[in-house]
Chains A and B, each alone.
Chain A
Amino acid sequence: MKALIVTCGVPFIRGGAEILAEGLRDAICAAGHQAEIVTLPFQSCPPSRIPEQMLACRLLDVTETCSVRIDRVIGLKFPAYLVPHPHKVIWLLHQHRTAYELWDHPAAGDLIHYPDGPVIREAIRRADRAFIPEASAIYTLSRNVSERLQRYCGISAEPLYNPPANAPLFHKGPSGDYFFFPSRINPVKRQWLAIQALALCREPVHVRFAGEADNEAQQAECGKAVRELRLGDRVEWLGVVSEEEKRDLYANCLGVVFPPVDEDYGYVTLEAMLSSKPVITCLDSGGPLEFVMDNHTGLIAGAAPQSLAGAMDALWADRRRAATMGEAGRERYLDLKIGWENVVDKLLC
């Protein structure tokens, strides 16, 4: 079978979606099929360009290429999943979130700041409601994404969990004196929340942040907060780390702090579980809540500095409990049987 994975991306930016697309392509090939990725450039600013890009996707003909039939199209991201094909399935990573649940989010909302934001939002919603059901099957990345799709568009979809890249290489090491917080640095991942929590911790908690800032201003803001709260000796900014370094940081941490706003899925949670580490997340963090069992594989705090500080203190003060939770997390991961085989079977069925 020849499968085309259609997705969107921002040139020169690489993130979880790109890694997922590559993982899917490799898994399809490993199952004996042929697969390629078509990445369409996407630009969400100014919003008036969005309908053009939606239309561009609708006008793309990927039924065949040089007389060779494309048997299956797998749509991943907006607006690429609007591409028509008689045998299209959608594995929805997420919709255009600022047209939905992040519309009026104080940090993430973007469309809401434009005069034509509401009409563009409505155009996106209409297109989603009209064209997503065209697919012969609709899956999502997580239960969280499925719930949003149901809530906003009235479309049901089954979640299909996939493993993080290089899942077998994650390992357990000795619990060190730090929490690990790997993520792109931006307001939605809420590094600022962890910093504010750190200032309220009673224990001498230490956090290592890894990841690149979406822009310099966001990095500067975090740095400023650390200085103002006099947390310089309890925070480390590691920046971009290699995959191997990342796995070691997971392996040797006490636990993982991951408090994003309504995350779609959250590989960080799964990577922590594979490394036998407990995860501290928040009640409004979305995807991680599908995996973290409160007081069993991690702690679920309220989305406020005081509550998050309490959770961090609790694990810092009780390392044995942290280790037990980490072990339980790995067992839960294994119980869930998260693997590419299931994903490929469903998408190519």
Chain B
Amino acid sequence: MLKINWFSPLPPAHSGIAHNYAMQILPVLAKRHETILWTDQDYVAPEVESIARVAHYEPANPPWRALNDADISIYHLGNHGGIHGGIWQASRQHPGIVVLHDLCLHDFFAMVFLRTLEQPAAYLAALERWYGEEGRRAGEAFRIGGIGAETMAQQFPLTREAARGALGIVTHSHRMLEELDETPACPVAALDHPFAPAGDLRYQGWMAARRATPGPPYRLVVFGYLSRNRRLDAILEALAGVPEREQFRLEICGQLWDESHIRNEIERLRLGPLVNLHGFLPEDQVEAQLSTAHLALNLRFPSMGEASGSQLQFFDYGLPTLVTRTGWYASLSEDTTAFVRPEHEAEDIRAHLRDFLTDPGAFGAMGERGRQSLRRHDPEKYVDAIVRFASAALDFSPRIPALDLAGRIGNDFTQWLPPDAGAYLLERASQEIVTMCARKARDRDS
């Protein structure tokens, strides 16, 4: 049994990680391992405290003595600077396993460095560290509005900054780190995002609720933390372009990145009677919305790369879903989701909506298959896998001071060597390392 420090948003934080991820994992984890839930939130829901001990920390001054009593710390990072900022501050000083819930973290670092910590120099240094002079220049342009946040997120995702000093990285998206060219210098595990489906009885109840509201009008649902990349503009534009739009109602559930902009768009496109804005919803109302919805629109562009907890929730409700063919979503099966091409967004959404009107039953079957696909997301298997990975990653820990040391040595050498010696030394060092590794492997085999 391990003693684990767990850092993640916890209910009632407005975060899918808190509600859809942590609350699925923690009951299983806390039963098998001594788990301490560290939080900088002012308030934690009582049901969390019944799972494991909750302890508070100040991000600027965490209680290292108490943290060092555990075998390992597991930090959960996503793109919300306010929710994950404190967790990152602890993780960058105290090496542990970093679970990335988003892979493009530029928005997060821009928020933390530029707004929370007010350290523009640290922001630019991070960009320069991973992307050289080009990164620094882009960061400078971003600060004065010369480059947009979406472009920065795609070209300079800063994923490795989150992994800096980590003992290991867990993602829920196979291949994405390689695709982003952001592979960190520590062990990486790609695990299927955990999800415990509701029991059959509950599911049958949802299906009954859906049958009781057959449509038309058909209820379309958009759900979650609705940042710019959730494509609400495109969805509204597409809906407005569907001649049979009166047969749909669009339910927008979740916190909006710019509510007044969305309201203006709804008015401009004359969609007022067809669209409802619900804001962030408590659990019971989420259930009411999802069990009576007919189609979910779960688009991302640009994708921040990671698995979507809300997508798994849609599968759980047997809801057919439109997703963007990008990032983790692109790896979903064709028969569980309907794809929207980023470059033909409005056209594809419109086509799917019209297909839906033609054959709602086919979409219903797609939702059923989505629910079947949840089997491989079993939280128990996930807990076993993450703990196994964490135990193995502890082996990496001595390499952290070694890497720091190498950095300091490199820095010192650059002070007194001619400028062009750097490339030569790097080449020599690489050759030496390759030779040593080969020798070690030979010795081990013999």
Q: Hey, what's the 0/1 contact readout for B371-408 against A, CB within 8 Å counting as 1? A: 00000000000000000000000100110111011001
Which of A113-121, A185-193, A220-228 lines the interface with chain B?
Answer: A113-121
In whole Å, how far is A48's beta carbon from the nearest beta carbon of chain B?
Answer: 7
The one of A112, A113, A114, A119 in contact with B397, judged by C-beta atoms closer than 8 angstroms, is A119
CA distance A280 to B95 in the complex (A): 44
| Chain A residue nearest to B93 in the complex (CB) | A115
Complex CA gap A55/B408 in Å reads 12
Question: From residue A123, how far is it (CB to closest CB) to chain B in Å?
Answer: 4
**Stretch of B61-69, B312-320, B321-329 with 4 or more beta carbons under 8 angstroms from chain A:** B61-69
Closest A residue to B69 by beta carbon equals A104
The complex places the Cα of A55 from the Cα of B394 at a distance, in Å, of 22
B311 CB, nearest partner CB in chain A, Å:
36
A contact residues, total (Cβ < 8 Å):
18
Q: A122 at the A/B interface (Cβ < 8 Å)?
A: yes
Is B94 an interface residue when CB atoms closer than 8 A count as contact?
Answer: yes
Residues of chain A within 8 A of B93, CB atoms compared: 115-116
Given contacts A113-B64, A115-B62, contact A123 B69 (CB under 8 A): no
Q: How far is the CA of A126 from the CA of B93 in the complex (A)?
A: 21
CB–CB B401/A112 < 8 A: no
Contact B398 A112 (CB under 8 A): no
Residue with the greatest number of chain B CB neighbours at <10 A, chosen from A112, A113, A118, A122: A118
Binding site secondary structure of chain B: helix
Question: A52 on the interface (CB 8 Å rule)?
Answer: yes
The answer to whether the Cβ of A159 comes within 8 Å of any Cβ in the partner chain is no
Query: Cβ of B404 and Cβ of A118 under 8 Å apart?
Result: no
Contact bitstring A98-118, B, C-beta under 8 A = 1, else 0 = 000000100000001111111
The interface centre, meaning the residue of B69, B397, B408 with most chain A CB atoms within 10 A of its CB, is B397
Partner of A116 from the list B62, B69, B401, B408 (CB cut-off 8 Å) is B401
Q: Is A173 in the interface zone, CB < 8 Å from B?
A: no
**Contact call B65/A112, Cβ cutoff below 8 A:** yes
Residue on A with the closest CB to B67? A115
Once the chains are docked, how many angstroms separate the CA of A91 from the CA of B281?
68
Residues of A within 8 A of B69 (CB): 104, 112
Q: A114-151 interface mask toward B, CB cutoff 8 Å, 1 = contact, 0 = none?
A: 11111110110010000000000000000000000000
* Sample (30) of A-B pairs whose CB atoms are under 8 Å apart: A48-B404, A50-B401, A51-B401, A51-B402, A51-B404, A52-B405, A52-B408, A55-B405, A104-B68, A112-B64, A112-B69, A113-B64, A113-B65, A114-B64, A115-B62, A115-B94, A116-B93, A116-B95, A116-B400, A116-B401, A117-B64, A118-B68, A118-B95, A118-B397, A119-B401, A120-B401, A122-B397, A122-B398, A123-B397, A126-B398
Interface residues of A, Cβ cutoff 8 Å to B: 48, 50-52, 55, 104, 112-120, 122-123, 126
Interface residues in chain B, defined as those with a beta carbon under 8 Å from any beta carbon in chain A: 62, 64-65, 67-69, 93-95, 167, 394, 397-398, 400-402, 404-405, 408
Give the top 6 A-B pairs by smallest Cβ distance, nearest first.
A115-B93, A115-B94, A123-B398, A51-B401, A119-B397, A122-B397
